[in-house]
Amino acid sequence: MRAIVVRRFGGPEVLEPVEVPTPEPGPGQVRIRVAAAAVNPVDVATRAGILTGAGVIPPREVLGLGWDVAGVVDAGSGFEVGTAVIGLRDRIATPLGAYAEQVVLDASAVAPAPAGVSPAEAATLPLNALTAAQALDLVETTGTVLVTGAGGAVGGYAVALAHARRLRVVAVASESDEALVRRFGADEFVPRGPALGDRVRALVPGGADAVLDTALLGLDALDAVRGGGEFVAFAAGAAPIPLRGVRVRSVWIRADGPRLAELARLASAGVLPLRVADVLPLSAAATAHERLAAGGLRGRLVLTP
């Protein structure tokens, strides 16, 4: 089967199409015939060697790419062959990922695909919706939550999930994204820019109870949180010093099939927005990486083998 791997770090040109033996599922695993694989910032960071440099991925001769998959089970245990599924490949240091014609995942990382949506749409769900859900699990407030990067993939899901939990949601995003994030469920909107803390406090006296800082603003986002509030960071090195008694935590995504099944149901019900920027063939993975790195996309680029 065909797959895209990296054998050396660098720009999009190091993404290498290879012909490899079809992977066989082991105990407790399923093999998925990939219909769609989303392209995420973590793939770009993996390809560029940033995650290996940061000690997140140990040095490997070959690295597969792609966390998010939608497709159909074609072998293994835990799901019937022929079931339409989505899954998350959270074992980042393996030689094959979802940028492939077939991928093997633990059955515990897989869930039935959301009904009534295309495979490309379904492939945009696992990594970013699970991250948003697991980040929200870290906060205890029932009051006001600030979401930075609310127009982004994780941020959009975070707004929708927080709204579904009946939290008051203050969204920070580009001015042009106001209508979008209000559709996701934002109660208040603050355009990105300087003096974030002051502008949030003008709407929420004393500051927000919690922030999900998907835009990695760090101290600027912390300044918008009340003393003794809560802060969730989304990347290595993105957690600020816990000034004013703010409890700072980091979310690290983990596969969770039952939770993913719940999120798929929410997506089918229209509670979670599935956003596809464009669909490209697997062979155009390098173009997808260039376009993602260039910025300005709304929704995910999706590869189809």
Ligand X SMILES: NC(=O)c1ccc[n+]([C@@H]2O[C@H](COP(=O)([O-])OP(=O)(O)OC[C@H]3O[C@@H](n4cnc5c(N)ncnc54)[C@H](OP(=O)(O)O)[C@@H]3O)[C@@H](O)[C@H]2O)c1
Instruction: Say whether residue 221 binds ligand X (CB under 6 A).
Output: no
Instruction: Say whether residue 92 binds ligand X (CB under 6 A).
Output: no
DSSP tag of 27:
T
Q: Compute CA distances 248 → 4, 43, 225, 302, whole Å.
A: 37, 26, 11, 33
Convert residues 154-183 into a mask of x (bound to ligand X by CB under 6 A) and - (unbound): xx----------------x-x---------
Backbone φ and ψ for 68, nearest 5 degrees, come out as: -100, 125
Quote the least distance from Cβ 253 to ligand X, whole Å.
3
Instruction: Say whether residue 152 binds ligand X (CB under 6 A).
Output: yes
Considering the complex, state which of residue 92 and residue 204 has its C-beta at the smaller distance from ligand X: 92
Measured CA to CA, the distance from residue 162 to residue 139 in angstroms comes to 10
Considering the complex, state which of residue 135 and residue 264 has its C-beta at the smaller distance from ligand X: 135
Quote the least distance from Cβ 131 to ligand X, whole Å.
4
Considering the complex, state which of residue 127 and residue 204 has its C-beta at the smaller distance from ligand X: 127
Instruction: Say whether residue 131 binds ligand X (CB under 6 A).
Output: yes
Considering the complex, state which of residue 2 and residue 275 has its C-beta at the smaller distance from ligand X: 275
Considering the complex, state which of residue 239 and residue 246 has its C-beta at the smaller distance from ligand X: 239
Nearest to 238 by CA among 275, 204, 213: 213
Other CB atoms within 10 Å distance of the CB of residue 58: 9
Nearest to 129 by CA among 100, 108, 112, 152: 152
Tell me which of 96, 235, 267, 286 binds ligand X, using CB under 6 A. 235
Measured CA to CA, the distance from residue 125 to residue 104 in angstroms comes to 18
Other CB atoms within 10 Å distance of the CB of residue 283: 13
* Binding residues for ligand X (CB under 6 A): 40-42, 127-128, 131, 148-149, 151-155, 172, 174, 192, 214-217, 234-235, 251-253, 295
